[in-house]
Amino acid sequence: MTSPIESFSQLELRSPILEALSEIGYETPSPIQAACIPHLLAGHDLLGEAQTGTGKTAAFALPLLNRLDLTAKTPQVLVLTPTRELAIQVAEAFQRYAQNLPGFHVLPLYGGQSMVVQLRQLGRGAHVIVGTPGRVMDHIERKSLDLDRLAALVLDEADEMLRMGFIDDVEWILQHTPETRQTALFSATMPEPIRRVAHRYLREPREVKIRAATTTVSTIRQRFCQIAPVHKLDALTRILEVEEEFDAAIVFVRTKTATVELADKLEARGYAAAALNGDMTQQLRERVVEQLKNGGLDIVVATDVAARGLDVPRISHVINYDIPYDTEAYVHRIGRTGRAGRQGTAILFVAPREMRMLKVIERATRQPIELLKLPSREAVADRRVAQFRQQVAEVLESEDLTFFLDVVAGIESSHDADMHDIAAALAFLAQRERPLQLPESGQPDIAQLAQPRAERPPRENRGEILERRRDYAEGRLKRYRIEVGRNQQATPKDIVGAIANEAGIESRFIGQINLYEDYSTVELPEGLPREILEVLRRVRVRQTPLNIRLMDAEEARRDAARPRPGGKPTRAPRGEHAERPPGGGFKSERKKGPRER
């Protein structure tokens, strides 16, 4: 009997891949990863029965990355998926796992994206292709996709491809790949047509069957908040302020580094918080848990592995600050609360581009997750005022205030001040460290930004648009330079999508966009917070970091007067924000027929 695999280091993966897993925050292989990776590393074909959300993407991506020849630019791995959304998600996962492999390139191919752009990207070469069957067939027929050196092919969610009518297309593609290829087929169920495909095209496959956790504790109330990553910290502190029945919380993040960073930020905001991760000594971990039990700490920021087995009756809330990569992790996380029949609350932060994972979790757990509306500035202020009033009432009832009455009487006589004015001045002094009113930032309230798109305020009417144009004339929007342009095939939609999704800035706050050959300019609100600018500097459009910076007055004047290549300057596109796949471009919501072309 083989010993269980408890660490990725027990698998024969290259050190750059192991380093990437550590940076991402993966510590222990999930059951499907532990079962599949050794078979795929050994070159065997694989038949995997596993639900979405069990961690199967890493189960095939990691061993196939391990066997790549990075010096060859022709496709060596082809992954077929039923939908463009899944193609983007799988391509992003490959990019994450290969972040320390120099020169690695993955390319998603799906219907609705420009064929010209895809042809250009294929011409540059790619190691891994992730695509929908119809678009992959198009490129094979055009001879723009060369599969002569294909080493491995993965059929992901094969039963879904069968349901959507793709199975004949899949067989056609299989017939146009080398017979020597390694093949892996993953499916949530194994209907007879899928088994026939497996029997016909897989050679002596190893079989793996994994069932995802499908139940969560009924005593746990599950809610989600849709929020851009840059606003997560503010959203978390607002929730902690207004949540009823709050006693203690465990906040889950993906990486060990993030546990320390977030715990420090919460501590700076006045919360009794500490990190809990695998790099800490056993003695230090035990001390943190003991402090959480006895009330010395109210919040622990932890990774999945560090929190395993944690049973602290005080934990009333579990907050998924970073969405887990699989449903098993989600179920284990929220199981830290609602124990022994007690009521618990689980809150999940979801970025706009992570909504698909939310649906996967709901399907796997067979429970709906309700929307949490982020508290507004006014709601937080009301809560703070109510707490302040309660504190004052308790002091009036329990403390001897004779000395302080004399102090106030002296202020009243020496300054000829009204007693109400003195009380207001003392209240002002008392709340300096924790203001009763949240300061206005000049930016939209994050409670508005956290609303799902369907619930956001309606589009501006003509008067609002004219007012926004007056904002440009009065200089309330400033011109910023970004280091991506026509040479990278960037479009205004690309730029707006990146800014909207990654920094949480709505398109109505994005002004004029000018595209040039090797850079672009965009109008954004003046005085963007430093943390938003840091996010935007790192954001990539068409695989190029934006490296955004505010233009000085002379640069902005020259840009405003400069002739535009190809005609008029471009306004930010209206309507829904797009989602950005790796390698540039934004997915369209336009519906297609069963075969995506």
The number of beta carbons lying within 10 Å of the beta carbon of residue 115 is 15
- Domain boundaries in the chain? 8-209, 220-376, 378-430, 460-571
Give, as one character, the DSSP assignment of residue 179.
Answer: T
Kindly report the average pLDDT of the chain as a whole number. 81
pLDDT in tens, 520-536: 999 888 877 777 888 88
Q: How far apart are CA 204 and CA 200, in angstroms?
A: 10
Q: What is the CA radius of gyration of the chain?
A: 28
Task: Give me the mean pLDDT over the 371-381 stretch.
Answer: 76
pLDDT of residue 527: 76
Q: Which one, of 320, 192, 299, 204, lies nearest residue 247 by Cα?
A: 299
Q: Which of 163-172, 323-332, 582-591 has the lowest mean pLDDT?
A: 582-591
Contacts of 385 (CB under 8 A, 6+ apart): 436
Q: Which residues are registered as beta bridge partners of 224?
A: 348, 371
List alpha helices for 1-153, DSSP H.
Answer: 15-24, 31-41, 56-66, 84-97, 115-124, 133-142
Q: Closest Cα partner for 253 from 270, 241, 266, 272?
A: 266
Task: Tell whether the model's pLDDT for residue 466 goes beyond 50.
Answer: no
Residue with tokens 């005085």: 527
Cα 120 to Cα 361: distance, rounded to the nearest angstrom: 37
The CATH class for the domain spanning 460-571 reads alpha beta
pLDDT of residue 15: 93
Interatomic CA distance for residues 175 and 79, integer angstroms: 15
**What average pLDDT does this structure show over 185-189?**
89
Which pLDDT does position 222 carry in this prediction? 93
Give the chain's length: 597
pLDDT band for position 579 (cuts 50, 70, 90): very low
Which band of pLDDT confidence, cut at 50, 70 and 90, is reported for residue 210? confident
Return the DSSP state at 159: H
Whether residue 412 contacts residue 340, with contact meaning beta carbons closer than 8 Å, is answered with: no
CB 116 within 8 A of CB 145: no
Band of residue 563 on the pLDDT scale cut at 50, 70, 90: low
Of residues 237 and 445, more confidently modeled? 237
Considering only residues 395 and 118, tell me which one the structure prediction assigns the higher pLDDT.
118
CB neighbourhood size of 138 (10 A): 20
How many Å separate Cα 126 from the centre of its chain?
25
Place of tokens 């290259």: 14
Q: Is there a shared CATH topology between the 8-209 domain and the 220-376 domain?
A: yes
Q: Are 68 and 77 in contact (CB under 8 A)?
A: yes
pLDDT of residue 401: 81
Nearest to 298 by CA among 277, 273, 320: 273
Q: pLDDT higher for 1 or 106? A: 106
Q: What was the pLDDT predicted at 130? A: 96
What's the pLDDT at 330? Answer: 87
Question: Do the Cβ atoms of 292 and 312 come closer than 8 Å?
Answer: yes
Q: Which of 69-73, 201-205, 492-496, 519-523 shows the lowest mean pLDDT across its residues?
A: 492-496
Distance, in Å, from the CA atom of 167 to the CA atom of 160, rounded to the nearest integer, reads 9
Per-residue CA distances from 255 to 275, 324, 546 (Å): 11, 11, 25
Please report the pLDDT score of residue 359 as a whole number: 87
454 and 503 in contact (C-beta within 8 Å)? Answer: no
Percent of the chain with pLDDT over 70: 82
- The yes or no reply on domain 8-209 and CATH 3.40.50.300 is yes
CA distance 40 to 182: 8
* pLDDT of amino acid 113: 80
Residue 469 pLDDT exceeds 60: no
In the predicted structure, residue 119 carries a pLDDT above the cut 60: yes
- Average pLDDT estimate for 47-70: 88
pLDDT confidence of residue 436: 65
Give me the DSSP letters along 110-153: -TTS-HHHHHHHHHH--SEEEE-HHHHHHHHHHT-S--TT--EE
Handedness of CA 298, 300, 301, 303 (dihedral sign): negative
| Closest alpha carbon to 187 in 154, 153, 155, 157 | 157
**Structure-model confidence comparison of residues 537 and 434, the more confident one:** 537
Q: What is the DSSP string of 383-404?
A: HHHHHHHHHHHHHHHHS--HHH
pLDDT at 583 over 70: no
The pLDDT, as a whole number, for residue 571 is 47
Largest CA distance in the chain: 98
Residue 587 DSSP label: B
pLDDT tens digit sequence for 294-347: 999 999 999 887 777 677 888 999 999 999 877 878 888 888 888 766 789 999
- The pLDDT of residue 468 is 43
Residue 50 dihedral angles phi and psi, to the nearest 5°: -155, 140
Query: For residue 264, what are its two tokens?
Result: 């420090």
pLDDT at 454: 44
pLDDT-derived band at 12 (thresholds 50, 70, 90) equals confident
Distance, in Å, from the CA atom of 1 to the CA atom of 20, rounded to the nearest integer, reads 30
For the segment 122-129, the average pLDDT, to the nearest whole number, is 94
What are 389-408's pLDDT values in tens digits?
A: 777 788 888 888 888 887 88
- For residue 589, is pLDDT > 50? no
What pLDDT, on a 0 to 100 scale, did the predictor assign at position 300?
95
Query: Residue 2 — very low, low, confident or very high, per pLDDT cuts 50/70/90?
Result: low
Write down the pLDDT at residue 544. Answer: 84
3-state secondary structure of 450: coil
Strands (DSSP E) along 227-377, which ranges? 248-252, 273-276, 299-302, 315-320, 344-350, 370-371
Phi, psi values for residue 80, rounded to 5°: -100, 130
Helix axes 355-365, 84-97, angle to 10 degrees: 100
pLDDT for 178: 95
pLDDT of residue 595: 41
pLDDT interval class at 498 (50, 70, 90): confident
46 - beta bridge partners?
A: 184, 206
Does residue 104 have a pLDDT over 60?
A: yes
The reported pLDDT for the residue numbered 432 is 67
Stretch among 134-143, 149-158, 418-427, 567-576 having the lowest mean pLDDT: 567-576
CATH architecture for the domain at 220-376: 3-Layer(aba) Sandwich (3.40)
> What does the pLDDT read at residue 399?
83
Can you tell me which residue has the tokens 């504790």?
217
Can you tell me the mean pLDDT for 151-180?
Answer: 91
On the question of pLDDT at 11 being above 50, the answer is: yes
User: Which residues neighbour 356 within 8 Å (Cβ) at sequence distance 6 or greater?
Assistant: 85, 86, 89
pLDDT number for residue 578: 35
Tell me what pLDDT residue 275 has.
Answer: 94
